[in-house]
């Protein structure tokens, strides 16, 4: 199943927009996370936690879901396929893993944001909320690895891809 | 993702050419990372972690402060 060139370009533009947007939004989140981890100022902490909640829930999660969906559409709609090439399989697994961890982690981020939005939460309590740096930096590293894989597209067929390619070559007239 | 896959030399062989070395290297790095993260978390160096920390606060109050504060905020529980 191959998409027509116009549709393929549209899908590619959508995939690039949301996937690169995810990387950028993750970088913005890391900046807020660093403030949450290092600042002693109550107002800065409160703003950082509320910002983290907004960025994660309203930007990063939708972009992650959109990246996963448009990536699957791009794979199935082109000759790359979803399970034919190792770089596509690894990208899919890493993207699904990153999106799942993100959705689970959003619960904690929302809890932190809710606590920070509560005027009765003291500065001491805000400082004890902690941070999500392990997740945000680790997630950014995973996203960078996926991005590099998608740009380089290292060669290598999966056993399934190899069988499919041989079958297609046999069908082609000489 | 737009150009068709190449792989002509791989197709010319009768048997599967095997898993590429870069995939094996990638898998080794991933396994090492998972083991390191597992050790860090199991030894407690990484602090409170895991999906259990995302649940509501229990009676023993063992969940994260963030969850406890959010619970208090959501249900308007007054500070003692």
Domain boundaries, chain A: 5-171
Residue B55 resides in a domain: yes
If you average pLDDT over residues B3-32, what whole number do you get? 78
Per residue in A30-39, pLDDT (tens digit) is 999 999 999 9
Number of domains, chain B: 2
**Together in a domain, B42 and B58:** no
Residue B24 resides in a domain: yes
Confirm if A111 and B63 have CB atoms less than 8 A apart.
Answer: no
ipTM of the complex: 0.78
Confirm if A132 and A108 have CB atoms less than 8 A apart.
Answer: yes
Asked if the model's pLDDT at residue A5 lies above 70, the reply is yes
**Together in a domain, B72 and B55:** yes
Q: Look up residue B28 and give its two tokens.
A: 């080794």
Residue B53 near chain A (CB below 8 Å): yes
Residue B29 near chain A (CB below 8 Å): no
CA nearest to A60, candidates A111, A11, A14, A24: A24
**Together in a domain, B59 and B40:** no
Instruction: Answer whether B64 sits within 8 Å of A154, measured CB to CB.
Output: no
If you average pLDDT over residues B29-43, what whole number do you get? 87
**Min CA distance, A167 vs chain B (Å)?**
10
Residue B35 resides in a domain: yes
Q: For residue B37, what pLDDT is reported?
A: 84
**Together in a domain, B65 and B80:** yes
Residue B7 resides in a domain: no
Which residue range is the domain that position B33 belongs to? 18-47
**Together in a domain, B43 and B55:** no
Asked if the model's pLDDT at residue A55 lies above 90, the reply is yes
């Amino acid at each position: 199943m191959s998409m027509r060139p116009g549709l393929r370009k549209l899908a590619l533009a959508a995939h690039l927009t949301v996937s690169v947007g995810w990387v950028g939004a993750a970088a913005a989140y890391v900046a807020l996370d660093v403030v949450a981890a290092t600042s002693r100022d109550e107002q800065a902490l409160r703003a950082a936690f509320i910002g983290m909640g907004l960025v994660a829930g309203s930007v990063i999660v939708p972009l992650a879901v959109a990246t996963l969906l448009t990536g699957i559409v791009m794979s199935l709609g082109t000759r790359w396929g979803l399970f034919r090439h190792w770089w596509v399989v690894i990208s899919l697994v890493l993207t699904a893993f990153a999106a799942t961890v993100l959705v689970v982690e959003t619960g904690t981020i929302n809890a932190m944001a809710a606590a920070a939005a509560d005027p009765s939460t003291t500065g001491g309590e805000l400082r004890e909320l902690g941070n999500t740096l392990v997740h945000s930096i680790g997630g950014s590293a995973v996203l960078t690895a996926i991005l590099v894989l998608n740009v380089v597209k290292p060669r290598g067929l999966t056993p399934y891809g190899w069988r499919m390619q041989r079958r297609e070559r046999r069908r082609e007239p000489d | 993702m737009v150009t068709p896959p190449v792989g002509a030399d791989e197709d010319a062989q009768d048997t599967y050419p095997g898993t590429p070395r870069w995939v094996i290297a990638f898998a080794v790095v991933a396994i090492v990372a998972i083991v390191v993260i597992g050790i860090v978390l199991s030894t407690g160096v990484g602090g409170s972690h895991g999906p259990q920390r995302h649940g509501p606060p229990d009676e023993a109050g063992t969940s994260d402060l963030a969850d406890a504060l959010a619970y208090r905020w959501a249900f308007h529980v007054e500070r003692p």
